[in-house]
């Protein structure tokens, strides 16, 4: 029931792009994305409510393929501040599950 994220970890140089995928075995109502820095609480990034919906914030955007029960998070021209662990959260019915997490490290 826990959505699976890939990759588990990624290291980028500043300015490079990355894609994080989130896949669920259940039909999804919506997908959330959160970022958690070491020793801190998760912080909301965005919610995607409809199949096919794409959202963006600054150089971070996401898409939601309802039919495939998948979502992808796109980080463009990564910055050092993007480092952290990214979690997707899936809503199916009234149940909410966080994904397995993707550790992203941006180096100079």
Partner 1 sequence: DAGVIQSPRHEVTEMGQEVTLRCKPISGHDYLFWYRQTMMRGLELLIYFNNNVPIDDSGMPEDRFSAKMPNASFSTLKIQPSEPRDSAVYFCASSQLGGPKETQYFGPGTRLLVL
Residues that bind partner 1 (CB under 8 A): 2, 29-30, 32, 40-44, 47, 49, 87, 89, 91, 94-101
User: Is it true that the peptide bond before 15 is cis, omega within 30 degrees of 0?
Assistant: no
Nearest residue (CB) to partner 1, 4 versus 16: 4
Residue 96, CA distances (Å) to 10, 32, 43, 65, 105 in order: 25, 10, 16, 18, 27
Provide, rounded to whole angstroms, the least separation between the CB of residue 71 and partner 1. 15
Burial class (CB in 10 A: 0-12, 13-18, 19+), 58: exposed
Q: In the block, which residue shows the tokens 């994220």?
A: 5
Provide, rounded to whole angstroms, the least separation between the CB of residue 30 and partner 1. 6
Nearest residue (CB) to partner 1, 82 versus 87: 87
Provide, rounded to whole angstroms, the least separation between the CB of residue 107 and partner 1. 23
Nearest residue (CB) to partner 1, 2 versus 54: 2
Nearest residue (CB) to partner 1, 16 versus 53: 53
How many other β-carbons are positioned within 10 Å of the β-carbon of residue 83? 17
Give the tokens for residue 43. Answer: 């912080």
Provide, rounded to whole angstroms, the least separation between the CB of residue 35 and partner 1. 11
């Amino acid at each position: 029931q826990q959505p699976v994220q890939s990759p588990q970890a990624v290291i980028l140089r500043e300015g490079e792009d990355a894609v994080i995928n989130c896949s669920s075995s259940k039909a999804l109502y919506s997908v959330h994305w959160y970022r958690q820095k070491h020793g801190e609480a998760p912080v909301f990034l965005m919610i995607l409510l409809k199949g096919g919906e794409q959202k963006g914030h600054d150089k971070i955007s996401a898409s939601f393929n309802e039919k495939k029960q998948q979502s992808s998070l796109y980080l463009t021209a990564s910055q050092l501040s993007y480092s952290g662990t990214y979690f997707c959260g899936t809503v199916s019915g009234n149940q909410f599950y966080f994904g397995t997490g993707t550790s992203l490290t941006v180096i100079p």
